[in-house]
Amino acid sequence: MPSSSRPAGRYTGFSAAAFAALVLLTAPAAFAQGTAAPAKPATPESSAACPALLQHTFPRLQDEKPQSLCQYAGRVLLVVNTASYCGFTSQYKGLETLNAKYKDRGLVVLGFPSNDFAQETGSNTQIADFCENTFGVKFPMFAKTSVTGEQAAPLFKQLAALSGQKPRWNFYKYLIGRDGQVAGSYSSMTSPEDRALVRDIEKQLSLKQYR
């Protein structure tokens, strides 16, 4: 009696076609279930919620386009009220050097020109040209801002309340940590090269985790 079994390793045309169709139908589904799109790397802006102290918007000095300070969340910030006709105006050079030296580690110097002490009478365009042409300033600068008294911008009112010190003159400085909290305040006499200031900046930069 002839055997009804097929030779091992052989398939009929129908079964081979069916098998191929099954592979084509199931493989994409299996791949989709087993493979996830790579996650985008976290950035300081996306991984750190914007703290209350940075929830302010200022016009950019050069073109007066609105700039949210939330873009600096997770960074170490040195906020400075500046002026073009002051005995401390030369600090622009040191501030730019400080910003350039530590920016890759997370420091951003933020400059806020102010005429509160009657030493910043020019227009925003004139101030921008002066800062760039005289001192090569590249760090972010904002339009003329009131920094003291009843007319002070809300940011500076907060800084004064949190630090216990309001700007008494041009080039007063506030250090803000990665967590959005005031880490220090410094008088106009404190130069950008001051050892204590630099030490405090480096301490804040060493806190790698965005809290």
Q: Is 146 exposed, middle or buried (0-12, 13-18, 19+ CB in 10 A)?
A: middle
Tell me what the mean pLDDT of segment 18-33 comes to.
40
Instruction: Assess whether pLDDT exceeds 60 at residue 35.
Output: no
Instruction: Assess whether pLDDT exceeds 70 at residue 36.
Output: no
Tell me what the mean pLDDT of segment 189-194 comes to.
98
Q: Alpha-carbon distance 15 to 197, whole Å?
A: 79
Instruction: Assess whether pLDDT exceeds 70 at residue 48.
Output: no
Q: Alpha-carbon distance 26 to 164, whole Å?
A: 67
Residues forming beta bridges with residue 81, ordered by sequence position:
112
Q: Which residues are known to be catalytic? A: 86
Tell me what the mean pLDDT of segment 111-133 comes to.
97
Q: Indicate the pLDDT class of residue 7, thresholds 50, 70 and 90.
A: very low
Residues 6+ apart with CB under 8 A from 131: 61, 82, 84, 92, 111, 137, 141
Tell me what the mean pLDDT of segment 62-68 comes to.
97
Q: State pTM to two decimals.
A: 0.77
Tell me what the mean pLDDT of segment 105-110 comes to.
98
Tell me what the mean pLDDT of segment 184-206 comes to.
98
Cα-based distances in Å from 131 to 34, 71, 93, 125, 174: 56, 23, 9, 10, 20
Q: For 126-173, how does the pLDDT look when each residue is reduced to its tens digit (9 = 90+)?
A: 999 999 999 999 999 999 999 999 999 999 999 999 999 999 999 999
CA angle 112, 84, 121 (to 5 degrees): 85
Tell me what the mean pLDDT of segment 176-189 comes to.
97
Tell me what the mean pLDDT of segment 9-35 comes to.
41
Q: Average pLDDT over the chain, rounded to whole?
A: 84
Which pLDDT belongs to residue 17?
Answer: 47
Instruction: Assess whether pLDDT exceeds 60 at residue 91.
Output: yes
Which pLDDT belongs to residue 208?
Answer: 73
Q: Indicate the pLDDT class of residue 209, thresholds 50, 70 and 90.
A: low
